[in-house]
Structure 1
Amino acid sequence: MKTTIRIFTATALCLGFASAQAEQPTLKVCTAENEMPYSNKNGEGFENKLAQYVAEQLGRKLETVTWTDPRYFVRDYVDKGLCDVVMGVDQGDPRLSTSAPYYRSAYVFISRSDDKLDLQNWDSEVLSKAQRIAFVPGTPAETMLRAIGRYNDMFNYQQELVDFKSRRNQYIKYENDKLVNEVATGRADLAVLWGPAAARYVKASNKPLTMTVIPDNNKRADGEKVGFHYSTSIGVRKGDTALLAQLNKIIKDQQDEIAELLEADGIPLLDEPDTALSMN
C-alpha cells in the first residue's frame, strides 16, 4: 500500500510540474539562425544568453524563432506576430518600438598587440601606411577610408574577404571571426569592426590582439559627422506598450547583471549619453 501511495504521489507531482510548464507563458524572441557572435540556432551567441535572461526575469519560458535574412525579419516575423521581441536593435529603429538601451559600444581598431601600433583615430599615420585593412562595406569604416583616401587601395583585398555571390537579391555576409583572424595571422595590418561583433574572437585569439575604441568625433570630407558609438535596445511590435514597459524595468533594475553577461564576451561598454537614459 505504501508503495502504491508513493508511486501515485510521484506521478501527481510530475503531472503538476508538466501542467505548470504548460501554463507558463512564453516569450517568443526573434534571433538569427547563424549570425555569430550575436546568435545562432544552438543558442551560443551573447544575444541568445541575454534573451534567456530576459525571459527568466519576466517569468516566461523562452521560445526562439530564427530567421536567416536580416533584411526582412521585422516584416515577416515581428509584424505578423510570429515573435514578440527582437534583441540587439538600434535604439530608435523606426520599424519597432525600442526599449531604453541596454548597452552602448563602439567601432574599434584591432591590431596585433606585439606591433604596438599608434592607433588613436583616423588621422593616425599607421592608417596611411597600412597595406591591408579589413572592414565590412557599408559601415562607418568604409566612409572614413574613403575620407582619408584609402578605400580604393583596399578594394581588391576587400573582395577576398567574402565568397563571391551575385549581389542581386543576395545578402552578402562578412564573417567577423574571419576578419579578426586576418589580423591575427598577419594577412591584414589591422581591422576596423563593430566592437560587439569582434570582441569574442579577439578574446579567443591565440595571437594577442588589441582593441582600441575609435573616438566618436569623426567627420566626412563634407563635414558631416560619422558616428562610431551606438546604443543597442530591445525591440517589440509597435503598440505593445505593456511589454515595452516590462523590458524597460528589467534594463533599469538589472543593469549590472546585463553588463556582466556582455563583458563575459569581452564587449567594450561605454557610458550612455544622458539623453539616452530616459525610460519613456
Structure 2
Amino acid sequence: MKQTLIAALLCALGTGAQAAGTLKVCAADNEMPYANERGEGFEDRIAEKLAAAMDMKLERVGFSDARYVVRDLLDKGKCDVMIGVDAGDPRVATTRAYYRSSYVFVTRADFGQDITGWDSPAMQSAHIGVVPGTPAETMLVQIGRYPDSFRYMMSLGGNRAPRNRYVRYDTEKLIRDLAAGEIDVAVAWAPSVARYIRSAAVPLKVTTVPAQAHKSNGEAVNFHYDTSIAVRRDDTALLGRIEAALAESRSDIEAVLRAEGIQPLPPAPVAEAHKDGKG
C-alpha cells in the first residue's frame, strides 16, 4: 500500500512538472488574420514568441466560438492564456499593452476624394463597408448611412444573423470587394485588414480614423485601443511571468507586427475602456 502511494505521488509530481512547462494558449480555429488551426495567424506567431521567451512548450487549445472562450476554456483551466485581448477587459487579468492600434479608412488610391473623418463630404455619398458590431457601425448610424450599408455588412458574415450564434465576419472579403470597386470605403480595425491591404490587387490608401468621434448625444465613440495578453483574474503568478516574457520578447513581437503590416500607434497617455470589437 505504501509503495502504491509513493508511486502515485511520483506520477502526480511528474505530471505537474510537465504541465508547468507547457503554455496552454486559447487559439481560434478559423479567425484569420489572427489565428487558425494551422497556426498561420499573426497572434499564433506572437504566442510562439511568448512561449519561447518563457522557455515553455506551446500548446494550442482551439475554439470555434469566441463568445464562450473565457467561460468555457480559460476559467475552467482548459487553457491559461489568451492573445490579443482588449486591455482592461473586466473578465480577465490583462498585461500591459504590447501594442496600440486604430481603425482605418481604406480607399482605392484612385478614389479621388480624401476621407479624414466621419464628417468628410465623401462619407455622404460613398458606398461604405464596415464590420457589424464595431464602433464603425455605430458611426454609420450617426451619419445616417446605416440603412444603405446594411445589406453589404450582412454579406461579410455570409448573410447569417448573429442572434444566438457566433458569426465570423470576413475582413479579407471587405478588402477584396474594395479593390474590385464593389464598395468605395472600408472602415476596419487595422490589424484585421493589414495583410489584405498589402496583398490587394490594386493600390490602396489607408488613413487612420481619428481617436474619437461623438454620437448626437455627446457620447464618445473610441477608435484607438490597446491590445494585451490575458490570464484568469486570480492567476497573478502567471501574469507576472508573462509580463517579464513580453519585455524580453519585445523586439520579436514588434517584428511579427511589422511583418503583418501593422504599424503600432504610440502608447496611450491613460488607460481606456476595451473596444466594442476588432472586427
Following TM superposition, by how much is the alpha carbon of 1:239 offset from its aligned partner in structure 2, in angstroms? 1.2
CA contact (8 A) 2:131 2:156 kept: no
Determine if the alignment matches structure 1 residue 109 to structure 2 residue 105: yes
1:230-257 deviations in whole A, cap 9, x for unaligned? 0000000111111111111232343333
Q: Which residue of 1 aligns with 2:94?
A: 98
**Which residue matches 2:118?**
122
What is the CA distance between 1:47 and its match in structure 2? 0.3
Deviation, structure 1 residue 115: 2.1
Query: Quick one: distance in 2 between partners of 1:155 and 1:101?
Result: 33
Matches within 5 A, 1:83-232: 83-130=79-126, 132-232=127-227
Moved more, 257-266 or 183-192: 257-266
Offset at 1:37?
A: 0.2
Other structure's SS at 2:254 match: helix
Separation of aligned partners in 1, 2:239 and 2:18: 24
Pair 1:235 & 2:230 matched: yes
Counterpart for residue 81 of structure 1: 77
With over 3 angstroms needed to count, the CA separation of the structure-2 counterparts of 1:177 and 1:187, relative to structure 1, is same
Structure of larger gyration radius: 1
Equivalent-residue separation in structure 2 for 1:123 and 1:166 (angstroms):
29
C-alpha distance in structure 2 between counterparts of 1:209 and 1:118, whole Å: 12
Contact 1:46 1:262 in 2 (8 A): yes
CA distance in 2, matches of 1:241, 1:162: 37
Q: Distance in 2 between matches of 1:105 and 1:166?
A: 28
CA contact (8 A) 2:132 2:154 kept: no
Counterpart contact for 2:73–2:79, Cα < 8 Å = yes
Q: Deviations over 1:196-234 (max 9, x none)?
A: 001011011121112211011311111111000000000
Match of 1:56 in 2: 52
Hey, what's the Cα distance between the residues in 2 that align with 1:121 and 1:23? 50
How many Å separate the matches in 1 of 2:209 and 2:153? Answer: 21
Distance across 2 between alignment mates of 1:166 and 1:91: 28
Residue 66 of structure 2 corresponds to 70
Instruction: Report the TM-score when normalising by structure 1.
Output: 0.87
In the alignment, the residues of structure 2 paired with residue 23 and residue 216 of structure 1 have an alpha-carbon distance, to the nearest angstrom, of 42
Moved more, 225-234 or 23-32: 23-32
Report the CA distance between 1:143 and its aligned residue: 1.1
- Give TM-score scaled by structure 2 length: 0.87
- For the residues of structure 2 that align with 1:160 and 1:83, how far apart are their CA atoms? 33
- Shift of the 159–259 alpha-carbon distance from structure 1 to 2, 3 Å rule, reads same
Report if aligned partners of 2:26, 2:63 keep a CA contact under 8 Å in 1: yes
Match of 2:269 in 1: 274
Hey, what does 2:42 align to over in structure 1? 46
Contact 2:105/2:209, CA 8 A, preserved across alignment:
yes
- Do the aligned partners of 1:176 and 1:198 also contact (CA within 8 Å) in 2? yes
1:149 Cα shift?
1.1
- 1:253–1:115: structure 2 CA closer, same or farther, 3 Å change rule? same
Task: Name 2:8's counterpart in structure 1.
Answer: none
The question of whether the paired residues in 2 share the 8 Å contact of 1:91 and 1:232 is answered with yes
Identity %: 46
> SS of the residue aligned with 1:108?
strand
> What is the CA distance between 1:272 and its match in structure 2?
0.9
Specify the SS of the correspondent of 1:267: coil
AA paired with 1:183?
L
8 Å CA contact 1:101, 1:276 repeated in 2: no
Alignment check: 8 A CA contact 2:65 2:166 kept: yes
